[in-house]
């Protein structure tokens, strides 16, 4: 959720923090603020975007070499100046920013109120900060020790950065459940929710683990656990370029990331898929290959768009590998008492690798003897580190809140996993395996062909931008793509949209059909095609407006559709990676046509690190 940035070193802190907040604004953008140490503690915060904060500090004293900054996605308290971070303690000596939720804040607040504390905001963050401040004053201890004592009492998730006006070169940080990365420079350190604010200055980083406290000074980084025992920082080299987090001439990050997909899918397959010789190398899974191949059951855990990738994978794995698959919302799985047997394989899918519900769900499954495979995009992320094995998607940084290239990269990895299992099990013959390897290898080139229709889809967007509702229908492998298409339209254009299996249309949704309702059919040529055409006829009989995503050479669907988008031929196993592209473009262009900020849709954040 929220984005956090910290700096201590030889540079002026404010420019570093503001630039970092702009790069993290996709994590939350309803308010922003900075705290700087410069002959005292100075805090500036403002409801709205980071640009609003910049305007508000013109003429203010924004000097100083140590500071922290925050861009907020509201959890406790509405977006407002007073609820914006950083918060200051009642003593006026400490400033703190926080990503996460403190679940037992109400009890702590009650205790502090009884002691005479008065709160200026509605946030759980201010409660925790004053709790820390109270501990420090009562025990006459260091800020580090006060934080350690407080965190033993706290229930919930957090990434915290604190500065104290009497210790002007030090930032104290802690995390549990919310990510924190520390960049290491020469006599300077950078702290952030992810690496995007850091890459401009250094490629050497340390990923802080749960229940660790970091004491950060310009020339020193100390890591300790909650038992006050020093930990050895593990320095990692960032595999990221600055250009990857810039727009590169595109109007929006979302459009840039849609058009990057031929390259990102290629990068995902490169070094792993040898279509000529029929070889798939997934070295991150080798140690558990036997257990995966003989798994009695696979459970896929994910949220949002990643859940849709899991649904596609369910079809593919069951078809090719003949292993039963269940796809679960991680947020539901973690709160019930699921039946997990030793030897079950859990595939956890997450773009960020930090999704709170997915993290807790895999911890539960791991305790019960399941093997955890992580499919994530962010190297060094929490899910990657908590998994027994897995694969990175190599999609590169995804800044647009609505996932695009991460989704197709997930599909590519999941398809490779299914093909490798099926080949080693012998559940498909070699001819089919070789054919599918070639089909998968051809996907980047075919995605590039689909993207040549962007201007035609832009025209469609103008035609349908004033719709108030939309229906997305598909069958088989394309049913999850209908769900994903509806989700994208909701996220980006705020048009109410629903995705359904096309056959389920008659069991209720057909009641919505009128001559103003756009109905998007994912109707590429596959084993379900004739049935989907019948469903299309049923919509046309009720005067619905049909947009059909079809395969080149289909002569029947165009006679039933008001508009068509044509896909190159592809095996139904890999076709979802093509048919999702028009869904992304249609949502993007409708959102733009309606005048919305498609990179930062309202109420949404990129990485959901709180429950």
Residue 35 and residue 68 in contact, taking contact as beta carbons nearer than 8 Å: yes
- The burial class, CB within 10 Å (0-12 / 13-18 / 19+), for 379 is middle
Q: Output the DSSP codes for 181-195.
A: EEEEETTEEEEESSS
* DSSP secondary structure letter of residue 221: E
- The burial class, CB within 10 Å (0-12 / 13-18 / 19+), for 514 is exposed
Q: How far apart are CA 477 and CA 485, in angstroms?
A: 13
Catalytic annotation on 141? no
Q: Output the DSSP codes for 336-400.
A: S-----TT-EEEEEESSS--HHHHHHHHHHHHTT-EEEEEESSTT-HHHHHSSEEEE-------S
Closest by CA to 460, choosing from 582, 599, 598, 595, is: 582
For residues 29-41, one letter each, b for 16 or more C-beta atoms within 10 angstroms of the residue's C-beta and e for the rest, the string is bbbbbbbbbbeeb
Neighbours of 119 (CB within 10 A): 15
Q: Which residue of the set 2, 303, 321, 437 is catalytic?
A: 2
Q: How far apart are CA 230 and CA 224, in angstroms?
A: 4
173: cis peptide before it, omega within 30°?
no
Length of the chain: 611
* Collapsed DSSP state (helix, strand, coil) of residue 589: helix
Q: Output the DSSP codes for 508-566.
A: TGGGG--TT-EEEEEE-SSTTHHHHHHHHHHHHTTT-EEEEEEETT--SHHHH-SEEEE
Q: In what order do the strands lie in the sheet with 325-329?
A: 325-329, 298-302, 345-350, 371-376, 389-392
* DSSP secondary structure letter of residue 478: G
Q: In what order do the strands lie in the sheet with 518-523?
A: 496-501, 469-474, 518-523, 545-551, 563-567
Neighbours of 412 (CB within 10 A): 29
User: What are the start-end ranges of the E strands in 220-314?
Assistant: 220-225, 230-231, 235-237, 273-274, 279-280, 298-302
Q: How far apart are CA 527 and CA 553, in angstroms?
A: 16
Residue 586 and residue 457 in contact, taking contact as beta carbons nearer than 8 Å: yes
β-sheet bridge partners, residue 191 = 6, 182
Closest by CA to 24, choosing from 41, 12, 45, 6, is: 6
Q: What is the pairing mode between strands 325-329 and 298-302? A: parallel
Q: Which residue of the set 93, 420, 488, 606 is catalytic?
A: 606
Return the active site residues: 2, 606
């Amino acid at each position: 959720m929220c984005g956090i940035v910290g700096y201590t070193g030889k540079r002026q802190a404010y420019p570093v923090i503001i630039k970092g907040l702009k790069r993290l604004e996709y994590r939350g953008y309803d308010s922003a603020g900075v705290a700087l140490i410069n002959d005292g503690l100075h805090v500036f915060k403002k409801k709205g975007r980071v640009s609003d904060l910049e305007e508000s500090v013109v003429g203010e004293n924004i000097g100083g070499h140590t500071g922290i900054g925050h861009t907020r996605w509201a959890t406790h308290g509405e977006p407002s100046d007073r609820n914006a971070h950083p918060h200051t303690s009642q003593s006026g000596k400490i400033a703190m920013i926080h990503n996460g939720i403190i679940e037992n804040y109400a009890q702590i607040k009650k205790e502090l109120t009884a002691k005479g504390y008065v709160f200026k905001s509605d946030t759980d963050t201010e409660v925790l900060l004053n709790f820390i401040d109270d501990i420090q004053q009562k025990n006459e201890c260091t800020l580090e020790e006060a934080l350690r004592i407080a965190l033993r009492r706290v229930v919930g998730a957090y990434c915290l950065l604190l500065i104290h006006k009497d210790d002007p070169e030090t930032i104290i940080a802690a995390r549990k459940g919310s990510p924190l990365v520390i960049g290491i420079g020469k006599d300077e350190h950078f702290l952030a929710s992810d690496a995007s604010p850091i890459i401009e200055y250094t490629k050497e980083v340390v990923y802080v683990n749960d229940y660790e406290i970091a004491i950060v000074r310009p020339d020193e980084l100390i890591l300790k656990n909650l038992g006050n025992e020093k930990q050895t920082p593990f320095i990692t080299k960032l595999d990221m370029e600055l250009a990857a987090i810039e727009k590169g001439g595109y109007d929006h990050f979302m459009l840039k990331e849609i058009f990057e997909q031929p390259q990102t899918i290629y990068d995902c397959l490169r070094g792993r898929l040898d279509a000529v010789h029929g070889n798939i190398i997934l070295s991150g899974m080798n140690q558990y290959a036997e257990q995966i191949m003989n798994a009695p059951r696979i459970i896929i855990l994910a949220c949002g768009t990643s859940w849709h990738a899991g649904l596609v994978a369910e079809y593919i794995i069951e078809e090719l590998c003949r292993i039963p698959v269940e796809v679960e919302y991680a947020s539901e799985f973690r709160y019930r008492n699921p039946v997990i047997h030793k030897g079950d394989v859990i595939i956890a899918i997450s773009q960020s690798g930090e999704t709170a519900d997915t993290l807790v769900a895999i911890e539960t499954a791991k305790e019960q003897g399941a093997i955890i495979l992580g499919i994530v995009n962010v190297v060094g992320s929490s899910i990657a580190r908590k998994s027994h094995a897995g694969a990175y998607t190599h999609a590169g940084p995804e800044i647009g809140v609505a996932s695009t290239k991460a989704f197709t990269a997930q599909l590519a990895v999941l398809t490779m996993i299914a093909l490798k299992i099926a080949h080693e099990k012998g559940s498909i013959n070699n001819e089919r395996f070789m054919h599918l390897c070639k089909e998968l290898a051809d996907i980047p080139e075919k995605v590039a062909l689909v993207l040549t229709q962007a201007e035609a889809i832009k025209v469609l967007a103008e035609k349908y931008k004033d719709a108030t509702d939309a229906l997305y229908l598909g069958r088989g492998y394309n049913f999850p793509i209908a769900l994903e298409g509806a989700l994208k339209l909701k996220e980006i254009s705020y048009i109410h949209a629903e995705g359904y299996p096309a056959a389920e249309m008659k069991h209720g949704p057909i009641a919505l059909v009128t001559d103003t309702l756009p109905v998007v059919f994912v109707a590429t040529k596959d084993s379900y095609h004739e049935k989907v055409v019948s469903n299309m006829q049923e919509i046309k009989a009720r005067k619905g407006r049909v947009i059909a995503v079809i395969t080149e050479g289909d002569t029947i669907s165009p006679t039933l559709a008001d508009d068509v988008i044509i896909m190159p031929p592809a095996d139904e196993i890999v076709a979802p990676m093509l048919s999702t592209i028009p869904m992304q473009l249609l949502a993007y262009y409708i959102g733009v046509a309606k005048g919305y900020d498609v990179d930062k849709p309202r109420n949404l954040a990129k990485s959901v690190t709180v429950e």
